[in-house]
Amino acid sequence: MMKTIGIIAKKGRSEARELTKQICSWCAERGLAVYIEKDLNIITNQAQRVDPLELILSVEAVVVLGGDGTLLSVARIPGSEKVLIIPVNLGGLGFLTEIRADEIFNLLEQIIAGRYTIDSRMLLEVALVRNGTPHETYRILNDVVINKGAMARIIDLETTVNAQYLNTFKADGLIICTPTGSTAYSLSAGGPIIYPSLRCISITPICPHTLTNRPIILPDDSVIQIRLQSEHEDVFLTMDGQIGMRLQKDDCVEVRKSGSAMALVKSPFCDYFEVLKEKLRWGER
């Protein structure tokens, strides 16, 4: 039986603070130990305040209150792949946080009783190689984007898959994403919607110079290498839209499937297609 629960909430949201207090009280009444982030601005003596890493390492499940951005930040915390993630949407366009605030207590009852389904979401590992040496490594849930600044010219991105040459994309950039990330930036750039449980990686060019350069879907065991061949100061590498850095000529970005996956608790109250129809407003005139 579950004994520990953590709460990570979006900062600055009054709804998140209020719901955090309600969950703390609910858990205390049932003898569950609760951990919250130490910098979360709420008053409660029913939870232990710790930093995010210690929180992840101390609990069996984490309730994430906010939106997709909050969930993406949790995915980067080491150890988050070892706990159940319960994503709760507090408004806005959320494809990942499909559980509504008014459903959380009913769902927590089911989770404590062991009646829940896990939606395993693939993660990507991204390495920046500079001058032949790995510079930084990141783990992401949605996408990695290489793109140019507003005033820069089209950039050249030499791309290989499993050491086999694919193409040198002349474009504003490239998006490499997981199935989870297919409904994010990739979708707006003309990429396909990919069912989350599929095991694949997609490459979507951003405004390619050659119009026949279309999105391509690759097996999840592919190792993708993108080398920047253009000498511009305005080219950036961005992970999950939250971490970014400037790239230099001949930098190589290597993308592969991570050895771990994120365990999201599925909502028993709606399915993936209902989320798609609601968020994309299918059927409306």
Active site residues: 68
Distance CA 101, CA 20 (A): 11
CA dihedral for 80, 18, 108, 279, sign (positive or negative): negative
Q: Rounded to the nearest 5°, which phi and psi values hold at 215?
A: -60, 150
Indicate the pairing of strand 4-9 with strand 61-66: parallel
Distance of CA 162 to the CA centre of its chain: 24
| Cβ–Cβ < 8 Å for 257, 122 | yes
For residue 273, the surrounding DSSP H or E stretch is helix 272-280
Q: What angle do CA 2, 88, 18 make, to 5 degrees?
A: 90
Whole-number Å distance between alpha carbons of 14 and 52: 20
The per-residue b/e assignment along 39-50, b for 16 or more CB within 10 angstroms, e otherwise, is ebebebebbeeb
Q: How far is CA 271 from CA 119, 182, 262, in A?
A: 11, 17, 18
CA distance 54 to 231: 42
Is 154 in contact with 173 (CB distance < 8 Å)? no
For residue 124, what are the CA distances in angstroms to 129, 154, 256? 16, 26, 6
